[in-house]
Amino acid sequence: MSDAPDTTAPVAPAEAASVPTIELLGQAAAGGCCGGGSCGV
């Protein structure tokens, strides 16, 4: 049996903080992970 909850279930999220506009810094090609595994260099 899985321990993981159904994350698609309608659990009310705690209120997200306000989201100001952010300015992106740094190189575009730095290593990162996106859905499904590693992306970037």
Partner 1 sequence: MSEAIKVDIWSDVQCPWCYIGKRKFEAGAALFDGNVEVEYHSFELAPDTPVDFDGSPVDYLSQRKGLPVAEVEQMLEHVTGIAESVGLHYDYDSVHQTNTVISHELLHYAKAHGRQLDMKERLLKAYFVDGRHVGRIADLADLAAEIGLDRDDVIRALTAHDFLADVKADVAQASAYGIQGVPFFVIDGKYGISGAQDPDTFAQALRQAHTEKSEEKNK
| Per-residue tokens: 37 | 């595994």
The CA distance from 37 to 26, in Å, is: 22
Residues 34, 24, 15, CA angle at the centre, nearest 5°?
70
Number of neighbours of residue 21 by Cβ within 10 angstroms: 4
Min. distance of Cβ 34 from partner 1 in angstroms?
4
Min. distance of Cβ 18 from partner 1 in angstroms?
9
Min. distance of Cβ 9 from partner 1 in angstroms?
9
- Site map for partner 1, 22-41, x if CB under 8 A? xxxxxxxxxxxxxxxxxxx-
Residues that bind partner 1 (CB under 8 A): 2-5, 7, 11-17, 19-20, 22-40
